[in-house]
Chain A
């Protein structure tokens, strides 16, 4: 009897102990996440502190604008064209049932300028440029180039990270504007050229319904926010990577995944703030 009781008691204490262990693990991962968030914010402050040096040496920025912005141009233009063409094709099928195919221009322009332009550009940008930034910086860390710079009294934050961050932040609104403009012309080719929507109605309806401040500028603000967040995630994940080949590959994956989450989540919040009245 006594023996039986002590076994039961031990079993129960064992269960409680394992539950506590599970809670402890949860707490540890929570603290780890907060530590990472804190590191990311300090990292961002350090990056922003590199701005004066960047103004003195704009050639650093130009080089990064080339690899981050210019090299992303092709995928942005091609995607924009096809997104606009698909939107026109789908929109036409729905609108023609109501005899309202003249509104095709409005439908295409509003969905591209407000939502698809900034969001799809940010997602493509995270895949094309963000992952490259993470991998490059992560590999620089793994091969101890960053420590090497520190040895030579060159601050890698100002020399390597800042130019990349600001290049991404500045490229994003430009790329989004190109995406939107190309997309609307893609919709024009399909809608007017292929499906026979009236040329004048396509542009006139668009111009009367799309507002520069409410729609176009809000789209630009969205893309600025996305550019900031995506590039921040990319350079931080690269800098924070475990300096092994596996660590770099994990950092690259995390960049793309976190960027997609951040962009889609922020897009919902921004849309609610801007267009929710």
Chain B
């Protein structure tokens, strides 16, 4: 059986368009093009409370995304969360007294790790640990603290 040239051409175009659709999904829609951990190094940070941080949450410095959370684990002895940060290999000049904090993007947005470089001479490398960390703010704790303070103020016996 012989197929006509037009048929073959159209089928070829169909396959190409299908592949292009998949390519768009991979590059434009998903995070495949975003952060490629081809050349990266991993550091860890310990937090008392990580709030709603998840694996693949962004890691930023000064608002610029430079890595992502690789994994989250729990230290059973020190009762702390261990967060592994996968950093882009291009940015390897962070001092070892860098501070890691967990912030929320917007009021209800996702949580991310923000790094603030310190002034030390030594730099963070593969496997090093960030000592200075600041836990996530838990909204309920803040609200209850605020209410408690208010109650303590108002509860003073009037003279």
Contact = CB atoms under 8 A, between A and B. Distances in A.
A62 interface: yes
Per DSSP, chain B at the interface is helix
A109 interface: yes
Interface in A68-89: 69-70, 73
Q: How large is the interface on B (under 10, 10 to 19, 20 to 34, 35 or more residues)?
A: 20 to 34
Contacts of A178: 17-18, 21
A266 interface: no
B12 to A, nearest CB: 9
Given A59-B2, A98-B108, A212-B30, A66 B11 contact: yes
B58 interface: yes
A30 B22 CA distance: 43
Contacts of B56: 211
A63 B17 contact: no
A73, A203, A208: most-surrounded residue (chain B CB, <10 A): A208
A118 to B, nearest CB: 12
B29 A184 contact: yes
- Contact-residue size bin, chain A (C-beta under 8 Å from the other chain): 35 or more
Given A60-B1, A62-B8, A210 B18 contact: no
Interface of B: 1-3, 7-8, 10-11, 13-15, 17-22, 24-26, 28-34, 56, 58, 108
Interface of A: 57, 59-60, 62-63, 65-66, 69-70, 73, 98, 100, 109, 113, 171, 173-175, 177-182, 184, 203, 206-212, 215-216, 219-220
Q: Which 6 A-B pairs have the closest CB atoms?
A: A174-B18, A177-B21, A212-B32, A212-B30, A181-B21, A178-B21
